[in-house]
Structure 1
Amino acid sequence: MLVEVIVQNGEEAVQAEKLGADRLELVSAMSEGGLTPSHGTIQQVLNSVSIPVQVMIRPHSHYYNYTVDDMAIIRYDIEHVRKLGGQGIVFGALDHENKINEKLLKEVIAVSSDLDITFHRAFDEAPSQIEAYKTLLNYRETIKRILTSGGQSNCEQGKGKLKELVTLAEETKGPEILPGSGLTPDNIETIHQTVAANQYHFGKAMRKKHSFAEKFDEQAFLKVKNTDK
Structure 2
Amino acid sequence: MIKEACVESLTEARLAQENGADRIELCADLANDGLTPTFGLMKKACKELSIPVMVMARPRAGNFVYNDLELVQMKIAINLAKEAGAAGIVLGLLTEDNKIDEEHTRFLAEYAQPLEVTFHKAIDEMENPVEGVKVLKTIPGITRILTSGGKATAAEGQEIIRQMINEAEDKITILVAGKVLDTNVDEIQQLTGAKELHGRRIVGILSAK
Query: Normalising to structure 2: TM-score of the pair?
Result: 0.94
The residue that corresponds to 1:215 in the other structure is 207
Contact 1:28 1:35 in 2 (8 A): yes
Counterpart CA distance in 1 for 2:176 and 2:132 is 15
Relative contact order (C-alpha < 8 Å, sep 6+): which is higher? 2
Contact 2:6 2:27 in 1 (8 A): yes
Pairing of 1:18-57 with structure 2 (within 5 A) = 18-57=18-57
Residues 18 and 205 of structure 1: CA distance in aligned 2, closer, same or farther (over 3 Å): closer
Deviations 1:118-147, CA, capped at 9 Å, x for gaps:
1000010112111110000112x4111100
- Aligned-residue sequence identity (percent) comes to 31
Does residue 196 (structure 1) correspond to residue 183 (structure 2)? The answer is no
Runs of 5+ consecutive residues of structure 2 not aligned to the other structure: none
Residues 205 and 144 of structure 1: CA distance in aligned 2, closer, same or farther (over 3 Å): closer
Pairing of 1:1-229 with structure 2 (within 5 A) = 1-139=1-139, 141-169=140-168, 172-204=169-201, 206-208=203-205, 215=207
Aligned partner letter, 2:183: D
Deviations 1:12-51, CA, capped at 9 Å, x for gaps:
2222112211000001101111100001000010011111
Aligned partner letter, 1:152: K
Give the Å deviation of 1:62: 1.9
Give the Å deviation of 1:216: 6.8
Point out the structure with the larger helix share.
1
Counterpart CA distance in 1 for 2:101 and 2:63 is 12
Over aligned residues, Cα RMSD in angstroms?
A: 1.6
Aligned partner letter, 2:138: N
Counterpart CA distance in 2 for 1:126 and 1:160 is 16
Give the Å deviation of 1:113: 2.1
SS of 2:138 mapped into structure 1: helix
Query: Normalising to structure 1: TM-score of the pair?
Result: 0.86
Counterpart CA distance in 1 for 2:202 and 2:189 is 16
Aligned partner letter, 1:192: Q
After TM superposition, the structure 1 stretch with the greater mean CA deviation from structure 2, 184-193 or 113-122, is 184-193
Contact 1:64 1:92 in 2 (8 A): yes
Give the Å deviation of 1:186: 3.1
SS of 1:146 mapped into structure 2: strand
Equivalences, count: 209
After TM superposition, the structure 1 stretch with the greater mean CA deviation from structure 2, 199-208 or 113-122, is 199-208
Counterpart CA distance in 2 for 1:187 and 1:85 is 32
Runs of 5+ consecutive residues of structure 1 not aligned to the other structure: 209-213, 218-229
Contact 1:207 1:216 in 2 (8 A): no
Aligned partner letter, 2:102: E
Aligned partner letter, 2:147: T
Residues 11 and 185 of structure 1: CA distance in aligned 2, closer, same or farther (over 3 Å): closer
